Amino acid sequence: MPVNCRGRSDTRPVTLCLREFFVSDNPCWNSTASIENLRRRAAIIAAIRTFFAEKDVLEVDTPVMSNGAVSDPYIDTIECRYQPLVGGEVELKYLQSSPEYAMKRLLASGSGAIYQISKAFRNGEVGRRHNPEFSMLEWYRPGFDHRRLMDEVAELLLPLLGLSEAVKYSYAQVFESHLGVDPHHADLDTLRGVAAEHIDSDYQDDNRDNWLNLLMSHVIEPRLASEGAVFVYDYPASQAALAKVSEDAQGRAVAERFELFVHGVELANGYHELTDAAEQARRFDADNRQRRSESLPERPVDHLLIEALEQGMPDCAGVAVGIDRLVMQAIGTDNIADVIAFPLPRA
């Protein structure tokens, strides 16, 4: 039985929510994850590297600290203070929330297929499945669309998770079958009404996508738990982020984006990547308008990404996978502290 730094038998990490570590005043020095779990983690990461080596996908390493920050309104970047002259003026830099922009600039530089295993950082994200510093696997496949990439995601992840197959549903299908509502056309009042049937909250908002996200995370995700691995694809065009937008069979504008949920936990997010520089610039502007209207902090946009897209990025699909959550699922724990040695309070 593990013994913690105060010499007591430490049986709690298995059940203790990460939040408890954050509100505790006396962090312990010892690892929250068992050494056995860290061995499993290392084996999974080794298997990922073997998978990509065999497919001739190049491992790359892009900066963790950068000049620009992510535009997504609901992802907040952690600032850091760089001093060109030690003790002199401070230049703000940003810890990356995902290596996406830099990897796309590599693609535009002619890298071909690439992958990266890196640290990513996000303000305020603390919980059973979140630590502000986490590990991400991200890869890009020139010539793939999001459908072909979904198959490769399944090929890599299912064996690591001990699963044999994944089901695929469109975003419209999961909303229609679990909530009886069309997510592409339902108006704000309808979504509010559906949410009120399932969720007790004082939440107020005029943004349709926020209601869709609330229903997805609170009602649909938990119900996907019984289905093992589930891909959800064809997101509403308004949730395209950095994905191409096209029309589905019903003529609806949909984002060529997918997410993978394993036992009800969001594990991967992928796109048939937007390559149009002008459209990318418009989306950055829209994100910043939304940040202003919601009084969220504005951060400098990464103009180098726009320039790279202007130069030309190959048509490709890309995906990000949360490594900590992958290991959690493989081990069978719902507590991120079981798979990382030192969550932020012990860092």
Partner 1 sequence: MANYSTNQFKNGLKVMIDGDPCSMVDVEFVKPGKGQAFTRVKMKNLMSGRTWERTFKSGESVEGADVMDTDMEYLYNDGEMWHFMDPKSYEQVAADQTAIGDAHLWLKEQDACQVTLFNGNPISVTPPNFVELEVVETDPGLKGDTAQGGSKPATLQSGAVVRVPLFIERGEVLKIDTRTGEYVSRA
The nearest distance, CB 331 to partner 1, in angstroms, is 19
- Where in 149-208 is the site for partner 1 (CB under 8 A)? 199-203
Sites for partner 1 among residues 97-136 (CB under 8 A): 124-130
Structure token digits, residue 184: 């592409």
Q: Which of 4, 67, 72, 145 binds partner 1 (CB under 8 A)?
A: 72
Q: With CB under 8 A, what is the number of residues at the site for partner 1?
A: 31
> Are the CB atoms for 143 and 316 separated by under 8 Å?
yes
DSSP class per residue in 255-273: EEEEEEEETTEEEEEEEEB
Q: How far is the CB of 68 from partner 1 (least distance, A)?
A: 18
Q: How far is the CB of 201 from partner 1 (least distance, A)?
A: 4
Query: Which of 49/129 has CB closer to partner 1?
Result: 129
| Among residues 10, 209, 279, 298, the one that binds partner 1 under rule CB under 8 A | 209
Q: Is 223 in the site for partner 1 (CB under 8 A)?
A: no
Q: Please tell me whether residue 27 binds partner 1 under the rule CB under 8 A.
A: no
Of 71, 269, 275, 329, the one binding partner 1 (CB under 8 A) is: 269
Under rule CB under 8 A, residue 217 binds partner 1: yes
94 and 65 Cβ atoms separated by less than 8 Å: yes
Pick from 335, 322, 340: which is nearest to 34 by CA?
340
Residue 273 within binding range of partner 1, rule CB under 8 A: no
Distances (CA, A) of 206 to 133, 175, 283: 31, 20, 19
Rule CB under 8 A: say whether 319 interacts with partner 1. Answer: no
Please give the single-letter amino acid code of residue 288.
Answer: N
Question: Radius of gyration (Cα) for the chain, nearest Å?
Answer: 21
Sign of the dihedral through C-alpha 109, 111, 112, 115 = negative
Q: Which is nearer to partner 1, 130 or 346 (CB)?
A: 130
Annotate 47-93 with DSSP letters as a single string: HHHHHHHHTTPEE----SEESS----TT--PEEEEE-SSTTS--EEE
Binding residue (CB under 8 A) for partner 1 from 3, 8, 14, 20: 20
Q: Which of 150, 97, 102 is nearest to 257 (CA)?
A: 150
Binding site for partner 1 (CB under 8 A): 17, 19-20, 23, 72, 74-75, 124-130, 199-203, 209-210, 213-214, 216-218, 239, 241, 259, 266, 269
